[in-house]
Amino acid sequence: MVAPQIEWIPDWARSAIFYHIYALGFCGAPDMGGQQSSITPRLAELPNWYDHLTDLGVTAIHLGPIFESASHGYDTIDYFRIDRRLGDTSLFRQIVDELHDRGIRIILDGVFHHTGRDFFAFQDICRNKRDSEYVNWYYINWGADSRYGDGFAYDCWEGHQALPNLNLSNPDTRNYIFEVTKMWLGDYGLDGWRLDVAHQVSPDFWWEFRRVSKEANPECFLLGEVFSGDLRTWVAPDLLDSGTNYPLYEAVWRSLNESNLWELKAVMERAAHPEFGVFKDLALLNFLGNHDVNRILSQLNDSRLLYPALLFQFTAPGIPCIYYGDEIGMEGLAGGDNRGVRQPMPLPHEEWPDEERAIYREMARLASIRKEHPSLLYGSFAALETGYTIFSFLRQHSREKAVVALNSGNAAVPLTIPVGREGVPDGVTFYDVLDPAGPTFTTQGGNLVIDQVYPYWGRILITGG
């Protein structure tokens, strides 16, 4: 069965290898910023990693947050300025141009659900109270007081009063945000947005935001951060292009830790089954870590489990995203201010936690394999033979088929995979792109028989037929 077309997503994004940079941590910026800080062009160091990213196979960067803020970047002060701890707009324009010259797209964090308290509209309310012309930009409660003694209370993000919620149903507020997206997409050539807590914003706002953004840049990519609720509420042809695949993220590390790949199969079938998969016609962002969760090496019980996790990430339906530092073996636990997963990035020539640089090499190889094979980019999905430490699946495209087999156990195992029931005829020969000099495997009696699947690894079997 051929996978459904996902025509509303720009193909550059659907076929991308994303790399997520939490800019303030990556660059080693101070914890506190603000409008009194001096401009320090830390982003000017980013070119040191261009070759690193290109050789890794990265084709798109999620960079952010980088707008002027007081602390962690999600308390925006000015959407039209680059954070002074990172540089300025002229430096950012230079970086965008340099990345584009290398064929690398760039999207930024769009934090449009809330602002920081130092945002101009909120400060005007603090000064002028009910007489402020911006009083309807937020959800103000005049019958209470904030912990800051403002003389009023207000809705804020998950109880954090440093992050007052914007009233996006107010036309003036909406139009302001629309001017933000038009400037960065149009004037600076930005390729899209990763939209913070998109699931806490009304879909009708995203409906209009999409039209404004696509008019400014028809090829822009709109990625929503969705970590609760039904993804389809926000990801659709007339809303956001894609969303963060938190259900799959959790299933990957948990099923590996618990030696229960049946769970991974169940999650994948619910999402991507060619007949009843609830997300079968979506291309979601698949990640093993980000700036809010434990680094994958700290999340797994055994570091060797990283390799089947990577193999799965780069062969599963969706868009793979690497969190900076994971490719060099960085570890860290989230929690509190999340500093443990937002560390400065060592330079490419410096010593890495993974001294052998094996993780980087395997990521680069898997990224290259993915980009070379349409079955892995666009193919349909069907779960095949599964066990506690074994999971195999089929990706089918009109030009080729791929059978992926994972082994999270500590011993090599033989596998007999029933592919005939998924329409693969007898006499079809597969070869392992991870071991091209090794044996080939030909379907017979409705099965694909593999002599062994290596421990803490797997096979990617490809055929052109």
Q: Are residues 406 and 339 part of one domain?
A: no
Domain count for the chain: 2
The CATH code of the domain that includes 294 is 3.20.20.80
Question: Is residue 3, in this structure, part of any structural domain at all?
Answer: no
Question: Is residue 6, in this structure, part of any structural domain at all?
Answer: no
The amino acid sitting at 353 is: P
Q: Residue 299 and residue 289: Cα distance in Å, rounded? A: 9
Q: Are residues 326 and 223 part of one domain?
A: yes
Q: Are residues 285 and 153 part of one domain?
A: yes
Question: Is residue 247, in this structure, part of any structural domain at all?
Answer: yes
Residue pair 161/116 in contact (Cβ under 8 Å)? The answer is no
Domain that holds residue 138: 11-375
Q: Residue 441 and residue 439: Cα distance in Å, rounded? A: 7
DSSP string, 114-171: B--TTSHHHHHHHHHGGG-TTGGGB-EETTS--TT--SSEE-EETTEEEEEBB-TTSH
Residue pair 104/57 in contact (Cβ under 8 Å)? The answer is no
The CATH code of the domain that includes 386 is 2.60.40.1180
Identify the domain boundary among 375, 408, 423.
Answer: 375
Quick one: which H or E segment has residue 93?
A: helix 89-101
Q: Residue 181 and residue 210: Cα distance in Å, rounded? A: 10
Strands 60-64 and 105-110: parallel
Identify the domain boundary among 344, 375, 406.
Answer: 375
DSSP string, 255-272: HHHTT-HHHHHHHHHHHH
Reduced to 3 states (helix: H, G, I; strand: E, B; else coil), residue 449 is strand
Q: Are residues 424 and 336 part of one domain?
A: no
What sign results for the dihedral spanned by CA atoms 156, 181, 20, 402?
positive
At residue 442's C-alpha, the angle toward residues 440 and 444, to 5°, is 155
Reduced to 3 states (helix: H, G, I; strand: E, B; else coil), residue 248 is helix
Q: Are residues 333 and 253 part of one domain?
A: yes
Question: Is residue 1, in this structure, part of any structural domain at all?
Answer: no
Identify the domain boundary among 341, 375, 409.
Answer: 375
Q: Are residues 411 and 262 part of one domain?
A: no
Q: Are residues 74 and 148 part of one domain?
A: yes
Question: Is residue 141, in this structure, part of any structural domain at all?
Answer: yes
pLDDT one-digit tens code per residue, 300-314? 999 999 999 999 999
Residue pair 413/407 in contact (Cβ under 8 Å)? The answer is yes
Q: Are residues 182 and 65 part of one domain?
A: yes
Residue 131 makes CB contacts below 8 A (sequence gap 6+) with: none
Q: Are residues 294 and 256 part of one domain?
A: yes
Q: Residue 123 and residue 444: Cα distance in Å, rounded? A: 72
Residue pair 61/106 in contact (Cβ under 8 Å)? The answer is yes
Half-sphere exposure of 214 (CA within 13 A, CB side): 15
Question: Is residue 5, in this structure, part of any structural domain at all?
Answer: no
Q: What are phi and psi of 311, to 5 degrees?
A: -60, -45
Q: What are phi and psi of 38, to 5 degrees?
A: -80, 155
- Using left for φ > 0, alpha for ψ between -120 and 50, and beta otherwise, residue 253 falls in alpha
* The pair of three-digit structure tokens given for residue 137, joined into one six-digit string: 């930009």
DSSP string, 328-340: GT------TT-GG
Q: Which residue, 253, 248, 264, 223, is CA-closest to 110?
A: 223
Quick one: which H or E segment has residue 459?
A: strand 457-463
Residue pair 278/230 in contact (Cβ under 8 Å)? The answer is no
Q: Are residues 413 and 308 part of one domain?
A: no
Beta bridge partners of 130: none
Q: Which residue, 284, 294, 339, 346, is CA-closest to 22?
A: 339
Question: Is residue 2, in this structure, part of any structural domain at all?
Answer: no
Residue 300, number of CB atoms within 10 A of its CB: 18
Q: Are residues 215 and 261 part of one domain?
A: yes
pLDDT at 3: 60
Question: Is residue 437, in this structure, part of any structural domain at all?
Answer: yes
Q: Residue 216 and residue 213: Cα distance in Å, rounded? A: 5
Successive 10-residue mean pLDDT values, the chain, 465 residues: 71 98 97 87 98 98 96 97 97 98 98 98 98 98 98 97 98 98 98 98 98 98 93 96 97 98 98 93 97 98 98 98 98 90 96 97 98 97 97 96 98 97 96 95 97 97 82
* The pair of three-digit structure tokens given for residue 183, joined into one six-digit string: 């400037």
What is the pTM (predicted TM-score) of this model?
Answer: 0.97
Q: Are residues 386 and 296 part of one domain?
A: no
Q: What are phi and psi of 310, to 5 degrees?
A: -65, -45
Q: Residue 320 and residue 134: Cα distance in Å, rounded? A: 41
